[in-house]
Structure 1
Amino acid sequence: MKRLLRAALTAVLVAAVVPVVLTLAAPAQALENGLGRTPQLGWNNWNSFGCDVNESLVRQTADVMVSSGMAAAGYTYVNIDDCWSEWNRDAGGNLVASRTKFPSGMKALADYVHGKGLKIGIYSSAGLTTCAGFPAGLGNEQRDADLWASWGIDYLKYDNCGDHQGRTAQDRYTAMRDALARTGRPILFAICNWGNDNVVQWGAATGNSWRTTGDIEGNWPSVMGILDAQPRYAGASRPGAWNDPDMLEVGHGLTDTESRAHFSLWALLNAPLLAGNDLRTMTAATRDILTNTEVIAVNQDWGGRQGNRIVDNGNTEVWTKPMANGSVAVVLLNRGSGATTVSTTAAQIGLGSASSYSVRDLWAHTTGTSSGTISTSVPSHGAAMYVVSGGGGNPGSTFSLLNNESARCLDITGASQANGALAEIWDCNGQANQRFTATTAGELRVYDSTKCLDVMGGGTANGTAVAIWDCNGGANQRFTVNTDGTIRAVGSAKCLDAAGTANGTKTVIWDCNGGARQRWTRA
């Protein structure tokens, strides 16, 4: 029932949004519930089982999550979707788990899942009923949140079906956010309103993730249609708040080649990775795709922005994502019906000039070198995935940073080596106080690597000064030199900004806006 409804929505939503160019205002700050600092990994029953969910399935799936190596690879959540409850609340107004599907009760089931070292998720909707017609959360937010907390629930997928009683989406989802917080139990909040109601503007302050489109289906056109809707949202993603292009169809309706491409792209997008196949019967190939820890590592790495498309040549595309250590993850995609060569270059993906680059193939698990071209034959409906390092801005390289608006270089005031000496812009002169070395930890070191660029006091507010300080490994000393020229402070997710063009103009952190004063060229 829900699948039929959502299939129609998917076709309408994806078709409707593809030609639109979305201009983002500054999105809300990430929900500070301490959860979702990296995209969530887990499993959800809906894609393969729909309403045919029960206690036995959940227990067996938890068992296989451990025995298959998925738990060791980072998968944590075992999530129950729609149709888990009785058709009516009890006399006290509480939800009741289906007595036939879950005879032991949800608390016992949660205890079993927790005993496996995993976490358990539940489903509801921000309306009077769920998509399948069961009682939902609108008007019962605190009652339901308290009940789920008493059961030991760790994750809530909150849908958008049912009568909304004239309330806005932001109001309905905020009510559940606050109810979850009042329980005192950490419950990851996954918004599922299909990308509607301008969720990109308020989702980050409300949930740990938010859907960007209608439901995915287990076929290549659906996966590609949803992929096409993602670039417009790239700027809204950040730790604690993730764009969600829906669950994985790996091993469910897709070929192995398509599954590898799908998994590569969702990883590059910093998307939640929620398997939707029957784990109990998955093939070895499907298991190997889902447990590819090198691809998962790209998903879990925050280099300042999620992956995005940089080249669209019709059936062939290039997608890139900056990594925290200065390298770049790359997906070469072939959407077409025949094998073809897909290529890019180190310059195109934003790496500086070098004589040699390291190219790690994340599916072959091999490392090669390149003089600057990355090229391979990609099968139909397939993708190749690499992490490329080398050139300016990568670990071990030393460079100056030329501000694009002023054509002046990032400079430590007065060539001082004292803690707290402010960073500014000044005419480029190649001196030691204008030369920075990137490290694998994401630091920008200066003066023979004895001092680190530092956001003063660990501040996160617009206008916080940037200086140098003894290197200490703090988040306020980690920066990502992105392929688009921005330098993002990891601790605040804000950009290094020169608020003027004159010599001596001090630098600060500020909301990233893509302006020339926030773009720097490695030299």
Structure 2
Amino acid sequence: MTPWLTRTVVRALALGLALAGPLALGAPTAGPAPRPVALEARQTTGQQDAPGTFRAAAPPPMGWASWNSFASSIDLATVKAQVDAFVAAGLPEAGYRYVNLDDGWWQGARDADGEMTVDPVRWPGGMAAVADYIHGKGLKAGIYTDAGRDGCGYYYPTTRPAAPGTGMEGHELQDALRFQRWGFDFLKVDWCGGDAEHLDPERTYRGIAAAVAGATAVTGHPLLLSVCEWGVGRPWNWAAGTAAMWRTGYDIIHWGERPSPGAALANFDRSLHPAAQHTGFVNDPDMLTAGMDGLTDAQNRTQLSLWAIAGAPLLAGNDLTRMTAATRAALTDPEMIAIDQDARGLQGVKVAEDTAGLQVYGKVLSGTGRRAVLLLNRTATTAPVTARWTDLGLTGGPAAVREVWAAADRGAPATGWTANVPAGGSVLLTVTGTEAPGSTYEAEAGTGGAACPSCSGGAAAGPLGDGAALTLTGVGAATAGIALADIAYVNGDPVARTATLRVNGQAPTVVSFPPTGSWSTPGTVSVLLSLAEGAANTLGFDSPSAPGPALDAVLLRPLPGTAGAALVGAGSARCAELPGNAVADDTRAVPADCTGGQNQTFTTGPRGDLVVYGNRCLAALGDGRSDGTPVVIHDCTGAPGRTWTLRPDGTVRNGLSGLCLNDPGRGADEGTPLDLRSCDGTTGQRWELR
């Protein structure tokens, strides 16, 4: 047992004695008032202090969904044919479990009691018969609805007439009960009606989640919730703890279109919100198009590689009755699936782009020193792409390389690996090396009520691990960027406890802490954090509505390839940011208090660009050249309006117009959008990357 976990066990034993009453039995109790506790930071070596018992996160769902191939033209015969082909192809043995009906199964009819009724010709035996057939093959059944009154089949009819009334608004609990009583296990809730009615996404989906939970309390039948509001309400800021998965962008393919590699890349780019994905909550870039007409086998493998490195749901959308042997082999590749389904539950992040369009993504896997690596070539010519071990958070020592699609070992090079990657193609690897050193921040209980120098107001620290709030201050980072956090905890309840994690002033996220078996057994879960440079970062955990887990320590390891810098105004000391972690084209940059968030961390790219989120760039709106042109984000293309020159005088000048990045409010008003202005040497036009 490592020294870290030894201390965790000792504290957990003391905690178990304190909580041997109702908490040990899983009964809800009110936790003590939130209280910050002191911390101690110490440098560790990765091998010595690597946590030993990770608690597996619920993996991203795997299965098949009807929309991409059939749109609204689905009935019982179609579903049965797909289910039979699903089983015959060996998808269940590879881990695929869900068969999901999408839009078009229902035309909106309800009986006098408001219960959904379906066409008996299309669905003989009703929807329960559909679920029964799917269950009879050992699989799970999924179904579809909308958050509004009228669903997508009303606003965007495809192969059937426009159907009003196909949403669940006003029937949330009633429909959730009916879906569960029919036997469905998965519920996708779309946003066409919600969008048309201008509903608030967060409030609406939290209400739906509450209805689903209420129905489950009655039926005892769990229903996995999939939020599908296309990223318009930025669900990566609030959906963790509300739903198992949430869409991050628009449909990857519209009815009547042919799939394209470009659409897959665009949806992948918009799905990268690593701080939100963890412990069973995942970003969803949409259903797969792999295997559909118009894509090559290599393009299919690249899309699967993208989804695997992102830890995305694997929901096939091809017609399984027409699937080729090559598509089947790609969908069922065990090494690709193992990357996607890794128990640590994290998302991959971009760690290098030495040459424009030649990118490296790294995903931290369960175990010690294990990474998945994607070498991606977005250019039009074959080119070498290099992954460096140090960018991935490993040491520069030898690391074993395995090429996934070739199922071949490639030796153990000392510093990195280079592959010639075809134009528009990719190479997927697993790498096993040595973890680089990290820092452990431990909660330290006070003695005899002594003052705690790290606590707010000098408050005394009390007993550790009672489910109260835990605040770690003085958390350091050599550079701004993403760090891997392994959180040691104890949860002797039979169900998961949750805590809200707050980093500096960033958007919070709900982290799930599965049962550890007893109050004397430690566990560890992992998350990715976005930290600011310096020693002023703060990590806070609280569980305001229910007792949280017993938290002990956080082991932080940076991912050096994500290192960036904040763009700080000289006069205001505020940071340029994309408000609310927005990723949409033409979102305006604003000055805001510096938090170290991913939306404030920029890298200087190889095109002369300022890159945020890994694949979005600061740009002059519409290539504007006049004073007052808004500064926004857009795709990184290297076009002059999306490039910048950082001058020694602190100005940041646009490559097209030569105008200066300008804070019109001179820092007086947080949130005043940035623009371009003629360079005048004022403090509102001087910036520092730090």
Within the alignment, does 1:343 sit opposite 2:375 as a pair?
Answer: no
1:96 partner amino acid: T
For 2:205 and 2:110, how far apart are their aligned partners in 1?
21
1:138 maps to 2:169: yes
Partner of 2:281: 241
| Partner residue, 2:268 | 227
**Partners of 2:319 and 2:521 in 1: how far apart?**
39
Contact 2:100 2:186 in 1 (8 A): yes
Preserved contact between residue 245 and residue 282 of structure 2 (Cα < 8 Å): yes
Tell me the equivalent position of 2:69: 48
Distance 1:230 1:461, change over 3 A: closer
User: Is 1:361 matched up with 2:392?
Assistant: no
Structure 2: gaps of 5 or more residues: 1-55, 155-162, 254-258, 446-462, 466-471, 473-483, 502-516, 532-536, 542-548, 557-594, 598-690
Residue type of the partner of 1:343?
A: T
Residue 308 of structure 2 corresponds to 267
Q: Is the 8 A contact 2:386 2:418 kept in 1?
A: yes
Alignment-derived partner of residue 496 in structure 1 = 554
Using structure 2 for the length normalisation, give the TM-score: 0.55
**1:475–1:152 distance in 2 versus 1, CA, 3 Å:** farther
Match of residue 223 from structure 2: 187
Question: Residue in 2 aligned with 1:416?
Answer: none
The 3 A distance-change label for structure 1 pair 411 and 390 is farther
Worse-matched range after superposition: 76-85 or 453-462: 453-462
Q: Report how far residue 172 of structure 1 moved.
A: 1.9
1:278-318 CA-partner distances (Å, limit 9, x unpaired): 11111111101100111111111143631111223332110
* 1:149 shift after superposition: 1.3
Deviation at 1:365, TM superposition (A): 0.9
Task: Answer yes or no: is the 8 Å Cα contact 1:304–1:493 preserved in 2.
Answer: no
- Please tell me the residue identity of whatever aligns with 1:335: R
Q: Is the 8 A contact 1:121 1:155 kept in 2?
A: yes
* Partners of 1:246 and 1:113 in 2: CA distance: 22
Q: What corresponds to 2:24 in structure 1?
A: none
Identity among equivalent pairs (%): 34
Please tell me whether the aligned partners of residues 322 and 483 of structure 1 are also in contact (alpha carbons under 8 angstroms): no
Moved more, 279-288 or 173-182: 173-182
Q: 2:114 aligns with which of 93, 97, 107?
A: 93
| Corresponding residue number in structure 2 for 1:177 | 209
Give the root-mean-square deviation of aligned CA atoms. Answer: 3.7
Distance 1:484 1:391, change over 3 A: farther
Distance 2:442 2:236 in 1: 33
Give the match for residue 489 of structure 2.
455
**Aligned counterparts of 1:136 and 1:492: Cα–Cα separation in 2:** 41
Q: CA deviation at 1:143?
A: 1.6
Residues 268 and 321 of structure 1 are in contact (CA less than 8 Å); yes or no, is this contact kept in structure 2? Answer: yes
The amino acid that maps onto 1:122 is I
Q: CA deviation at 1:224?
A: 1.4
SS in 2 for 1:347: helix
Q: Which whole-Å deviations, capped at 9, do the CAs of 1:371-403 have from their partners, x for residues lacking one?
A: 22211111222111111011235xxxxxx6456
| Aligned-partner SS, 1:132 | helix
1:473 deviation in Å? 13
Q: Could you tell me how far apart the structure 2 residues matched to 1:454 and 1:210 are?
A: 27
Query: Partner of 2:200 in structure 1?
Result: 168
- Residue 347 of structure 2 corresponds to which residue in structure 1? 306
Aligned-residue offset at 1:99: 2.5
Q: Which shows bigger deviation, 341-350 or 40-49? A: 341-350
**1:379 matches 2:419:** no
Count of residue correspondences: 415
Contact 1:311 1:317 in 2 (8 A): yes
Which string of whole-angstrom CA distances, capped at 9 and with x for unpartnered residues, describes residues 142-181 of structure 1? 1211211111011111000126655422222122212211
Change (3 A) 1:474 1:118: farther
Q: Are the counterparts in 1 of residues 489 and 551 from structure 2 also a CA contact under 8 Å?
A: no
Higher relative contact order (CA 8 A, sep 6+): 2
Partner of 1:6 in structure 2? Answer: none
Contact preservation (8 Å) 2:442, 2:554: no
Tell me the residue number matched to 2:88. 67
Paired residues of 1:138 and 1:172 also in contact (CA < 8 A): no
Q: Structure 1's 141 and 223: CA in aligned 2 closer, same or farther, altered over 3 A?
A: same
Instruction: Provide the C-alpha distance between the structure 1 equivalents of 2:96 and 2:529, rounded to a whole number of angstroms.
Output: 30
1:338 is displaced (CA, Å) by 2.5
Q: Render the CA deviation track for 1:388-439: whole Å, top value 9, x for unaligned.
A: 011235xxxxxx6456xxxxx98999xxxxxx999xx9xxxxxxxxxxxxxx
Give the 3-state SS of the residue equivalent to 2:81 in structure 1: helix
Larger radius of gyration: 2
* Letter in structure 1 aligned against 2:171: N
Is the partner of 1:144 in helix, strand or coil?
Answer: helix
Deviates more, 1:99-108 or 1:131-140: 99-108
1:324 paired residue number: 366
* 2:59 aligned partner, one-letter code: T
Tell me how far 1:101 sits from its aligned partner: 2.1
Q: Work out the CA distance in 1 between the residues paired with 2:425 and 2:340.
A: 19
Distance (Å, rounded) in 2 between the aligned partners of 1:305 and 1:386 = 16
Matches within 5 A, 1:352-431: 352-354=395-397, 356-369=398-411, 370-392=413-435, 401-402=438-439
Tell me if 1:212 matches 2:248: yes
Deviation at 1:462, TM superposition (A): 8.0
* Change in 2 beyond 3 A, CA 1:216/1:358: same
Which letter does structure 2 place at the counterpart of 1:109?
V
Report the equivalent of 1:196: 232
Task: Answer yes or no: is the 8 Å Cα contact 1:349–1:483 preserved in 2.
Answer: no
Please, what TM-score do these two structures have when normalized by structure 1? 0.71
| Conserved? CA contact 1:402–1:410, under 8 Å | no
Pair 1:151 & 2:182 matched? yes
Are the equivalent residues in 2 in contact too, given 1:317–1:334 (CA < 8 A)?
yes
CA distances 1:220-278 after superposition (whole Å, capped 9, x unpaired)? 111111122233x1110112311001011101132111110110110111111100101
From the superposition, tell whether residues 76 and 36 of structure 1 become closer, same or farther in structure 2 (CA, over 3 Å).
Answer: farther
C-alpha distance in 2 between matches for 1:145 and 1:352: 50
Residues 111-126 of structure 1 mapped to structure 2, 5 A cutoff: 111-126=132-147
1:19 is aligned to none
